[in-house]
Structure 1
Amino acid sequence: MAAAQVVRSEWTKIRSVASTVWTLSLAVVVTIALGMLISALSANGFDGMDPRQRLSFDPTLTSFAGMSLGQLAMIVFGVLVVSNEYSTGMIRASLAAVPQRGVFLAGKLGVATALALVVSMATAFAAFFLGQAMLGAHGASLGDDGVLRAVIGGGLYMTLIAVFSMGVATVLRSPMLSLGILMPFFFLVSGILGNVDATRRIGRFLPDQAGSRIMRVVVPLDDDTPYGPWGGLGIMVLWVVAALAGGYLLLKKRDA
């Protein structure tokens, strides 16, 4: 099957499965709605902050407060895109139609990544503008130093979360196992490792901890992270590449 036909086939699969459409919609709604809520609460409580808190207040990052929950929906999307075919047994028919497994995987990941990128970028810009509207006089402008980079970075971060999940799902094949590992890892384990003194040096190199750095504009006074915004995103990209490489190697070696 030609590459163009593979792409069309994968696009049909994604848009015909209601669960993938709903998870993307949920990612958009949760990220924007929670970001607006936290921004409104921050604006209301700004006058009660002490001088140190005001110096470290990051209006851009505040508007992305919903990203912590929105990324969970992107994880589900990434897992379902890959593992739905394994859970239904359709993977056998797909690999029979496209025996070149590298072409099959590239087509699937390419279509899903492009869709995730479009949705994530739209979500990031919407979350920023609506969040700044809630912050009012305490908000930031897209033309301020570092803000555009942070907003674009927010879209890239959400996309990479989805792609990383696709790689893990390709390795594990099971949707329940993939979600059972990824959800606690991003929602619980990573946060603990990144906030406990004994493990903070390790936690800051995890994919979400490093990648989310791209969304920060104001650096706290006590911050000692050994990399900048793009360095953090680069670390996340390495995690994504490792997950995809593992998935590709296992897909080539094992039976469907």
Structure 2
Amino acid sequence: MAAFPAVLQSEWTKLRTVRSTAWTLAPAFVATVGLGALITTLANNNFDDFAPDNSPFDATGTAFAGIILGEIAMVVFGVLAIGNEYSSGMIRVSLAAVPQRITLLAGKAVVVCALALAVSLVTVFTAFFLGQALLGGHSVGIGDPHVLRAVFGAAGYLTMICLFSAGVTAMLHNQTLALGVLVPFFFLLSPILSAVPKVKSVAHYFPDYAGQRMFLVYQESGQPYGPGTGFAVCLAWTLAALAGGALVLRGRDA
């Protein structure tokens, strides 16, 4: 039986040596920070157009405007981190070295989670502090009420989206198919359903919508739930995807 620390070391080595996979995290930083800087600059220069009429201006959420692009890179990283071994056939070698399939998937998930969380924390803190600097007199401090929670919530959201994508890829055993499912789900199906009155209540419990509640400083009027419930819903989707991946891996040949 392979020891779990050895599995972690092996998975880290595989992920680190396939540079194309690791480098997919760079666009998450660039897109999130870059677009956030652009939006906060526009907000500061055109504050009357950005400030809502009946609720306080969310300076933290404005700095995180680029997360919608950053999550694309996180989805791709989660898919490639699991799917590369299936596309290359190396999964058979991994299973021969670690016959305990759940242990193998757990090792992959822990390594992916650690790297995604580290990048996410650097990304969101950079986006926050740069955004507040660009907002000038409209900025908030990290110690203001609910702000630090929102910053960590943004990092948690990006990390869970990555793990969710990894779990879906483990279920499908094909990175092209996984991307073909995940990208339309997050960037077409979910936004479209959110705009349709009769079904938008269903879309409110999709992982992207729920996760985006996690970095709200102020709960918006008319929204169905706040950050705590958003975290629970997003976590449930993530755990369900990983559990589904584990079930498929146990019952299906590589």
Q: Which stretch of structure 1 is more off in the superposition, 103-112 or 190-199? A: 190-199
Could you tell me which amino acid in structure 2 is paired with residue 106 of structure 1? A
Could you list the structure 1 runs, at least 4 aligned residues long, displaced by more than 3 angstroms after superposition.
47-51
Equivalents in 2 of 1:7, 1:160: separation in Å?
19
Change (3 A) 1:6 1:49: closer
Equivalents in 1 of 2:58, 2:51: separation in Å?
14
Q: Which stretch of structure 1 is more off in the superposition, 182-191 or 87-96? A: 182-191
Any gaps of 5 or more consecutive residues in structure 2? none
Equivalents in 1 of 2:98, 2:49: separation in Å?
61
Equivalents in 2 of 1:51, 1:104: separation in Å?
49
Displacement after TM superposition at 1:48 (Å): 4.3
Could you tell me which amino acid in structure 1 is paired with residue 243 of structure 2? A
Query: What is the root-mean-square deviation in Å for CA atoms of aligned residues?
Result: 1.3
TM-score by length of 2: 0.96
Cross-structure match for 1:106: 106
Equivalents in 2 of 1:6, 1:22: separation in Å?
22
1:94 aligns with 2:94: yes
Displacement after TM superposition at 1:189 (Å): 1.1
Could you tell me which amino acid in structure 2 is paired with residue 162 of structure 1? C
Displacement after TM superposition at 1:113 (Å): 0.6
Name which of 240, 243, 254 aligns with 1:242. 240
Q: What's the secondary structure of 1:197's corresponding residue?
A: coil
Change (3 A) 1:217 1:16: same
Equivalents in 2 of 1:108, 1:46: separation in Å?
45
Structure 1 vs Structure 2: percent identity of aligned residues? Answer: 52
The answer as to whether partners of 1:56 and 1:219 remain within 8 angstroms in 2 is: no
Displacement after TM superposition at 1:57 (Å): 2.3
TM-score by length of 1: 0.95
Alignment of 1:28-67 (within 5 A): 28-48=29-49, 52=53, 55-67=55-67
Any gaps of 5 or more consecutive residues in structure 1? none
Equivalents in 1 of 2:119, 2:188: separation in Å?
25
The answer as to whether partners of 1:79 and 1:179 remain within 8 angstroms in 2 is: yes
Equivalents in 2 of 1:140, 1:85: separation in Å?
44
